[in-house]
Amino acid sequence: MKRKDTVKLISADEMEFIIDKDAAMVSQTIGGFAEMELGEVTFPEISAVILEKICQYFYWALQYSRGKETEFHIEPELTLELMMAPNYLHT
Amino acid sequence: MPVLRSREILPVQPKPLKARANIDPPATPTQGREQPATRSSPPSLIPSPKTLGSVSGSAPILRRSLRLSTRASSNAGQDGVLEAEEPIERRNGDVSRKRKLSADNDVGLESGEDKGVLSLRSGKRVTKKGPFGDGNGSEGDVEVEIDRKGKSMLVEESEDTEKPERSKERVNVKGKRRYSREEKGKGKLLVESALESKDESLVDGSVSDVELLAQEVNLSNEKPSKKNNRRTSQGRMERFRDTARENASRFAHFSTQEEDDNILSTEAESEIPSEEPEEKGVEDWPGPFSTAMKIIRDRAANFNVRQGSSSSDKVQYLQIKWVPQKGKRKDWSKRLPPSLLDLSLRVLVDNADAIASLAHVPDALRHKLCHMLCDSRRMNSNFFDLLLNGSPIEIRLKDCSWLTEEQFNQCFEKCDTINLTILQLDYCGHCLADYSLPSTLARSPNSLPALTTLSLTGAYRLSDAGLSALVSSAPALRSVNLSQCSFLTHSAIDILATSLASVLLELFIDDCQSIDAMLVLPSLKKLEHLEVLSVAGLESVTDSFIKEFLIARGDGIKELILMDCWKLTDSSLKIIAETCSNLRALDIGNISKLTDTSFGYLASGCRSLQSLKLCRNAFSDDAIAAFLEMSGEVLKELALNNVGKVGLNTALSLARRSRNLVSLDLSWCRNLTDEAMGLIVDSCLSLRVLKLFGCSQITDVFLYGHSNAKVEIIGLKLSPLLEHIKTPAQGPLQYSSVSVGCQ
């Protein structure tokens, strides 16, 4: 049931996250990858927990840009790692 | 700032006035003066001279030195004397001439030629003085004050003027009246022109007054002065008080221009006199620049001609064709969600104490964290320890004021500095002293083997000996920032130069008050590869310093920061243009003596200039426009902060030429309209940052009407103030790359 407008993100521990393409486009890097690699991107350095949070962020950012401005909560324990991932993702 | 009139006045019969003259706000009459050419002064500029009701006739001063016959020279003097609007703006106080109507002066000076007599405030007669020799007492010289109460008096000449048409009148009006303000307890400013040749001053004063009056009277363009109306309805004393009140604050303001002037006269010897007088300099400009200038001026002239300028009052109102977009989304910035990085950083900053380790965090992120922590004052020694843990490579602390000496010692004693490449401890005066160095930073010679960049700004307890110890521990230093280390003297720089002669690339000695530029000169010349030099704020920097240094090292210099070195003149710029062919960045803010000639030099000499920063300079719109026409393509960063004359010509040139411009600062440039701004922003497609502090004339028409999605406009609406001060991510050096041996 793989629809065409989704992207699959695979974490280091091989958890797969399927998200909409729109959400993935929030990150230019992923958007670019997805184009090339048939909609599947692997992130060997990013763990599942972090990747999950990143996906949540994508959806939140989509919502934000459509007008609904809410707050995005991040558990402090995750933050350090979380901080390093987007550094790489948003290039 | 334009040259003050006072310097150009030809001395003419000084005597009687000289005795009394008190030169204060120089050129008060000049303040009122305007260049005939640039008459488009906004209405707000010229408050009509106020008439102080008829002062008690007892004023003895009304002596009008009457040398009307000698006025002939006035015309000639005019040009030199007239100044641009700017001083007028500032000197509103001056401009408001308080006049004392003296019966004597009021003698019916009327010339038939004029369209009658215009009755200005308080029923003074305004008469036009035609040809010279009209001499009545009224063409007075500047008057010396009458009684003062410990304040300087301003005697303003206000002439009886009529409402001349600007186009003709400027030069012709000769009628002048001397008025003095009698009010007790209020300061009277003595018009400085009294000192100089009276003729010139008188004429100038009269002309300016006339112009002022003319403007005032010319209702088609200007709003009638409120004072005017008010005055007619109030009593004399009220008027006195009002004008006093209004002008008091202006009198209180002491213009730096005057200061400069005073100092100028005493320190002229340290300046290199320019070989050609300024007026002649225009023709001596290198070909392309003067051509460009001509084009710009013609552009305006042609436009005026086309307009069939009947309105001689509105000079040079070039039209900018720019239409704001309709129906566009309102606020570009609102739509962008904050990035995940920013969000996480914010959470981290809030919970900084809970961070257990910064291992694996890349340096760039560490710097960001430090930056944010320092800004929110949450930085503490725990975090500092985390930073110093392991074997750090880069440490950047923009603010060490929270750090105590003890903490500093503790932290650094156990720090492994073997890999340290960048060490930035700004504002470390509180914690850094000579005696703490041996145990922390300067443990042994070569204890900082990899240190390339060192910044210890504000280390006010660091002495020459301390610096010497540091330098011996860090033999590979390439960039040293010692701004505001007020204890250091030229011997410190000498030490630097001796040990680091072949490696030092960047040196910042801003505001090091104990360093004398001329004494430092030999050491600076020893630095073979210096690329960046900053001597901002050092008062001892003169033209000869620049000349000697650049002749020796100019071709390697890539960035020169000369902000606040107010003694420099155009000849320095000439030398810069001749010697620094590789110059990429130049900062000449607050150097008020520079004139348009400098731009001529720059345009022809420094072809690879990417960043130019001006602040409060006196350049004219035309010169900046011409410079942009010639060198605008390469420019990436331009700051025209408070360069008041920036106007439509500059806007047009920016739009046409500045394709690569990334950052533009037009704060306080009040002559730029919404259309001009819109044109700039829509044409400069690389523009990302536009600073518009103080531009209250910009409205939503521009803010919501421009179509450049990527530009960030700072300074207008309520934007978080400090956000525009972003420290760019920096490597160890600005222009060269460091060959990193260890990593």
Question: What does the domain layout of chain A look like in residue ranges?
Answer: 4-82
Q: How far apart are CA B250 and CA B50, in angstroms?
A: 15
pLDDT > 90: what percent of chain B? 27
The reply to whether ipTM tops 0.90 is no
What are the extents of the domains in chain B?
610-731
Q: What pLDDT is attached to residue B551?
A: 92
DSSP secondary structure of B75-144: HHHHHHH---HHHHHHTHHHHS--EE--TTTTS----TTSS--EEEGGGEEE----STT---TTS--PPP
User: What is residue B274's DSSP assignment?
Assistant: P
| pLDDT tens-place string over residues B416-435 | 888 999 999 999 999 998 89
- Higher-confidence residue of B69 and B431: namely B431
Q: Which CATH architecture has domain B610-731?
A: Alpha-Beta Horseshoe (3.80)
Interatomic CA distance for residues B26 and B4, integer angstroms: 7
Mean pLDDT (whole number) for B575-587? 92
Q: How far is A56 from chain B (nearest CA, A)?
A: 10
Q: How far is B635 from chain A (nearest CA, A)?
A: 26
Of B335, B337, B341, the CB nearest to A83: B341
Residue contact A86–B339, C-beta within 8 A: yes
The pLDDT of residue B81 = 40
Looking at residue B104, its pLDDT comes to 40
**Per-position b or e across B207-232, b if 16+ CB within 10 A of its CB:** bbbbbbbbbbbbeeebeebebbeebe
CB contact under 8 A, B365 and A61: no
Residues of B in contact with A64 (CB under 8 A): 337
Token pair belonging to B634: 């390469």
CATH top-level class of A4-82 = alpha beta
Among the partner-chain residues A64, A79, A90, the one whose CB lies closest to the CB of B347 is A79
- pLDDT tens for residues B199-217? 444 444 444 444 444 444 4
pLDDT at B265 over 90: no
Residue B193's pLDDT band, with cuts at 50, 70 and 90, is very low
| Minimal CA separation from A34 to chain B, in Å | 20
pLDDT at A34 over 90: no
Chain B residues close to A85, C-beta within 8 Å = 340
| Radius of gyration in angstroms for the set of CA atoms belonging to chain A, rounded to a whole number | 13
Is B328 or B710 the better-scoring residue by pLDDT?
A: B710
Q: In whole angstroms, what is the distance from residue B654 CA to residue B638 CA? A: 10
Going by DSSP bridges, is the β-strand pair B637-641/B611-615 parallel, antiparallel, or unpaired? parallel
Instruction: Tell me how far apart the alpha carbons of residues A50 and B565 are, in angstroms, rounded to a whole number.
Output: 53
Each residue's pLDDT tens digit, B270-299 = 344 433 333 334 445 556 777 777 777 777
Which amino acid is located at B287 in the chain? G
- Is the model's pLDDT at B101 over the cut of 60? no
Name the minimum distance, in Å, from the CA of A64 to any CA of chain B: 6
End-to-end CA distance of chain A: 31
Cross-chain CB nearest to B341 (options A64, A65, A86): A86
CB contact under 8 A, A80 and B361: yes
Chain A positions touching B347 (Cβ under 8 A) are 74, 76, 79
pLDDT, mean over chain B: 69
Residue B140: name the closest of B254, B304, B16 by CA.
B16
Contact A46, A86 (CB under 8 A): no
Task: Provide the sign of the torsion angle of the four alpha carbons B85, B90, B95, B96, taken in this order.
Answer: positive
- Cβ neighbours of residue B675 under 8 Å, at least 6 residues apart? B320, B321, B322, B702
Q: Name the pLDDT band for B701 (thresholds 50, 70, 90).
A: confident
CB-CB contact of B203 with B8 (8 Å): no
For residues B548, B553, B558, B563, the Cα torsion angle rounded to the nearest 10 degrees is -20
Q: B338: nearest CA in chain A?
A: A61
Q: How many whole angstroms separate alpha carbon B54 and alpha carbon B386? A: 77
The sign of the torsion formed by the CA atoms of B10, B13, B17, B21 equals: positive
Within B173-224, residue ranges assigned H as helices are 198-217
From B37, A26, A30, B80, select the one nearest A7 (Cα to Cα): A30
pLDDT at A22: 82
Ranges B26-35, B109-118, B133-142, B356-365, most confident? B356-365
